[in-house]
Amino acid sequence: MEKFSKISGVAAPLPLVNIDTDMIIPKQFLKTIKRSGLGVNLFDEMRYDRQGNEIADFVLNKPAYRQAEILVAGDNFGCGSSREHAPWALADFGIKAIISTSFADIFYNNCFKNGMLPIVLPQEAVDVLMKDAEKGSNARIEVDLESQTVTSSDGQSFKFEVDAFKKHCLLNGLDDIGLTMEKAKSIDAFEAKAAMERPWA
């Protein structure tokens, strides 16, 4: 998993509440077990019409936001079913951080496991950042995980809280497999000792 430290990028405003995982990645795209390739179907029913043509006024179809790395969203983002394909789709599109007043618990935890930073801020702060994001590609929001701050394009800074262990994992690019591999020497030593003590096993 890629290390997350600091990003300064375009933020896409998505001022909708209760964006559920089926809106993020509809059920017909859940057949794959690969993390790549889902970005094209992110927010599929909002991005495309029934003929598969882009809907011009959807935020991620606008030229200013096609390369967005940050999403500023409404309350209760990622609610609904627990599908891990939702953070896969966001990450594959290029989203690295999501800012909202609240997240569904399972989605929130899945973000960290997939290298994304979900940031919870008070409504007043989200309102400021939402307005800033509406300025388009000229406004770049900075997210600094080390200092736990989000800074708007005009310099307003907001502090956010994050679990110390989750922060450690993101800063060091550690998913569940990476955490296990950190213990590889201990695991190998245990297996070697077990093989000597119980050769019949």
| Domain boundaries of the chain, sorted by first residue | 6-173
User: Could you tell me the CATH superfamily of domain 6-173?
Assistant: Aconitase, domain 4 (3.20.19.10)
Report pTM.
0.86
Name the pLDDT band for 145 (thresholds 50, 70, 90).
Answer: very high
H or E element that contains 34 = none
Please provide residue 173's backbone torsions phi and psi, each rounded to the nearest 5 degrees. 65, 40
pLDDT one-digit tens code per residue, 73-112? 999 999 998 889 999 999 999 999 999 999 999 999 999 9
Among residues 153, 150, 47, 160, which one has the least CA distance to residue 103?
A: 160
